Amino acid sequence: MTYSKKTRTAAGVATAATLLMAGVSSTAFASGRVSAQGDGIELGAEFTDRIPARSTGGTIIPVTVTGGTVGATPQAFSAMRVTARVGGKSAQVTYVDETHLKVVAPATTSATAVTMQLTRRGTAGPESAATVAYYPGIVAVTPARISSLGGTLVTVNGTGFLGVDPDDPQAVTFGDAAATSVTVVSATKITAVAPAGTNGTAVVKVKSTGGASEANGSSKVNYRAALGIDTTAAPTAKASGGPLLLTITGGKAGGDIKEFNAERIGVLAGKKALSTTWVDETHLKVVMPPMTTDTAALTITHDTIAGEPSDVSIAPVVTSLSAKTDTIAGGTRVAVRVAGASAGDSTGFKFGDNAAVCAKQGSGATLVFQCTVPPASQGGPVAVTFTSGTGKASRFTAAAMFSYTEN
């Protein structure tokens, strides 16, 4: 087909008219900025600077378009193939009107401040002057209970952690206190050494250049005071077992039984959990099991946090007498059962101040000392005593009570 000058001019006018309808200026057309790849219009994006965005994505960012329009109708917008990138990642775009969009921030592994860029028909606009401030997210903190003394290695799981500077003193905080050490393991994992804290709940936060994580039910730890036992008064338990009153140090056991139960305080003898009863805010009563040692290491646990073990004394005791009385002349045979360390090697049996001759029979559960009651100078109650095989003097108990009569 042959085109005349007039024909070519008419075609150019028609093309220009078509471009104008699509939003392309005649100036752009005349300058040659229109190509098969784009229409030459560079769209800019304006929005609130440092608008906060979740690193998991999904934050909606209201955007004002500059440098051109995105169409007078949703259909025209669709024809213009407008796209957006946030921090270099593709983002979902929703039409509002010819100069306004909603951009959905995509997920990121690095919670930092990033720019936005719009593209129209393949032509990329300038990066935004404003930034999208991605902040880290926390989904779990383990362990959830830590010692108030600090030093516990805590694992924080979440999102956007590659944007965290471990050398930043505020990178990870427990309440108002900074972690003493921070290691960024991956985009979803940080390990941190907890600082010392006070008994109670502390919010854990992770901070990046984009902002700090939000508090939620999964971003907390419970500081628990590491409780100990006051041994200055030499608490002593019977080798046969039974109740023992303990004075606690390092914190309180609660002002009443309800608070005590909420604090979840218990006592261990080695690995064995003891029956523990609240007495007042500084005292507990435990039921000791039978012991065959001179001391026992007791540990107070506070909501699973163990304090330092403390040794309490274990006293050898008489557990039973086959006869409870005799005349001052003595001579009755009495089976004396005892408990304590090296009980089978016990010596020095006395009825009051009167030494008795005793012979060991059996062992273990059948151990008994057959004693001949020694004579006494006067009647009245006395205690049967002995010395354990480790050289420890027995402690008085009601089971050791014996009585002399005048006849």
Please tell me the distance from the alpha carbon of residue 91 to that of residue 128, in angstroms, as a whole number.
14
Tokens standing for residue 185? 């393991």
Tokens standing for residue 378? 């006067």
Last residue of a domain, one of 82, 116, 134: 134
SS3 category, 163: coil
Kindly state whether residues 155 and 172 are assigned to the same domain.
Answer: yes
Domain membership of residue 353 (yes or no) is yes
Domain membership of residue 397 (yes or no) is yes
Kindly state whether residues 254 and 212 are assigned to the same domain.
Answer: no
Handedness of CA 366, 369, 373, 376 (dihedral sign): negative
Domain count, the chain: 5
Ramachandran quadrant class, 391 (left: phi over 0; alpha: psi -120 to 50; beta: rest): left
The pLDDT value given to residue 308 = 94
336, β-bridge pairs: 321, 369
Digits of tens for pLDDT over the chain (407 positions)? Answer: 343 334 333 444 344 434 334 444 433 333 233 333 457 899 999 999 999 999 999 999 999 999 999 999 999 999 999 999 999 999 999 999 999 999 999 999 999 999 999 999 999 999 999 999 999 999 999 999 999 999 999 999 999 999 999 999 999 999 999 999 999 999 999 999 999 999 999 999 999 999 999 999 999 999 999 999 999 999 999 999 999 999 999 999 999 999 999 999 999 999 999 999 999 999 999 999 999 999 999 999 999 999 999 999 999 999 999 999 999 999 999 999 999 999 999 999 999 999 999 999 999 999 999 999 999 999 999 999 999 999 999 999 999 999 999 97
Domain membership of residue 72 (yes or no) is yes
Q: What pTM did the predictor assign?
A: 0.77
Kindly state whether residues 105 and 169 are assigned to the same domain.
Answer: no
SS3 category, 345: helix
Which amino acid type is present at position 226? A
Please tell me the distance from the alpha carbon of residue 303 to that of residue 152, in angstroms, as a whole number.
15
Kindly state whether residues 159 and 125 are assigned to the same domain.
Answer: no
| Pair 342, 390: CB distance under 8 Å | yes
Tokens standing for residue 63? 């955007």
Kindly state whether residues 210 and 244 are assigned to the same domain.
Answer: no
Host domain of residue 18: 1-34
Domain membership of residue 154 (yes or no) is yes
Kindly state whether residues 14 and 55 are assigned to the same domain.
Answer: no
Q: Which of 401, 402, 397 is nearest to 239 (CA)?
A: 397
CATH number for position 54: 2.60.40.10
Q: Which of 63, 219, 86 is nearest to 155 (CA)?
A: 219
Kindly state whether residues 301 and 337 are assigned to the same domain.
Answer: no
Kindly state whether residues 30 and 85 are assigned to the same domain.
Answer: no
The pLDDT value given to residue 108 = 98
The pLDDT value given to residue 38 = 58
Kindly state whether residues 273 and 289 are assigned to the same domain.
Answer: yes
The pLDDT value given to residue 326 = 98
Long-range CB contact pairs, 87-93, < 8 A, 24+: 87/112, 87/114, 87/115, 87/132, 87/134, 88/114, 91/116
Last residue of a domain, one of 224, 250, 284: 224
The pLDDT value given to residue 39 = 74
| Pair 127, 107: CB distance under 8 Å | no
The pLDDT value given to residue 11 = 40
Kindly state whether residues 87 and 26 are assigned to the same domain.
Answer: no
Please tell me the distance from the alpha carbon of residue 175 to that of residue 179, in angstroms, as a whole number.
10
The pLDDT value given to residue 9 = 39
Domain membership of residue 123 (yes or no) is yes
Kindly state whether residues 129 and 49 are assigned to the same domain.
Answer: yes
Domain membership of residue 232 (yes or no) is yes
Kindly state whether residues 293 and 308 are assigned to the same domain.
Answer: yes
Domain membership of residue 156 (yes or no) is yes
Domain membership of residue 39 (yes or no) is no
